[in-house]
Amino acid sequence: MVWNITRAELKEKIISGDKFYLIEIESAEHTKQAHIPGALRIPLGEIREHAEKVLLNKSPDLVFFCQDDSCPCAGEARDIFTTMGYESIRHYSKGVEDWVGAGLPFVVEES
């Protein structure tokens, strides 16, 4: 099942300790920008490789996001994981810019 998740819903999942994977699909130009703490950062071109190595259990929720709602990468990742048989996929379409703009915690990591 695929559906959008709001900032408030994502924040609640994080605070409540829900078991899920928070996955930032990033492009090369976004590697030095803000990131949501605790998110796995996966380049779009490496999705299948990471899924086979890290995300072995297909049952926990996956929440994908990228920088903002103009970035197609998270949607593409969502489609790939859906075809790979992952069962519960959510998409935080507003992304990092919305998160940071709301004053929520973020990190900046140099790659």
Tell me the C-alpha distance between 52 and 50, whole Å.
5
Residue 26 is predicted with a pLDDT of 77
Instruction: Specify the CATH number for the domain of residue 13.
Output: 3.40.250.10
Tell me the C-alpha distance between 90 and 44, whole Å.
17
Tell me the C-alpha distance between 42 and 8, whole Å.
23
Within a domain: 34:
yes
Range of the domain at 92: 2-103
Within a domain: 110:
no
Taking the model in full, what pTM does it have?
A: 0.84
Place 28 in a pLDDT band, splitting at 50, 70 and 90: low
pLDDT digits (tens, 9 = 90+) for 50-97: 777 777 677 778 898 988 888 888 778 888 888 888 878 899 989 999
What total number of domains does the chain contain?
Answer: 1
Within a domain: 93:
yes
How many CA atoms does the CB half-sphere of 39 hold within 13 Å? 30
The answer for residues whose C-beta is within 8 angstroms of residue 16's C-beta and 6 or more apart is none
Within a domain: 108:
no
Let me know: does 71 contact 27? Beta carbons within 8 Å. yes
pLDDT digits (tens, 9 = 90+) for 31-59: 567 888 889 888 888 888 877 777 767 77
For the beta carbon of residue 74, count every other beta carbon within 10 angstroms.
23
Within a domain: 24:
yes
The answer for residues whose C-beta is within 8 angstroms of residue 108's C-beta and 6 or more apart is 32, 33, 34, 35
Within a domain: 111:
no
Within a domain: 109:
no
Within a domain: 79:
yes
Residue 73 is predicted with a pLDDT of 83
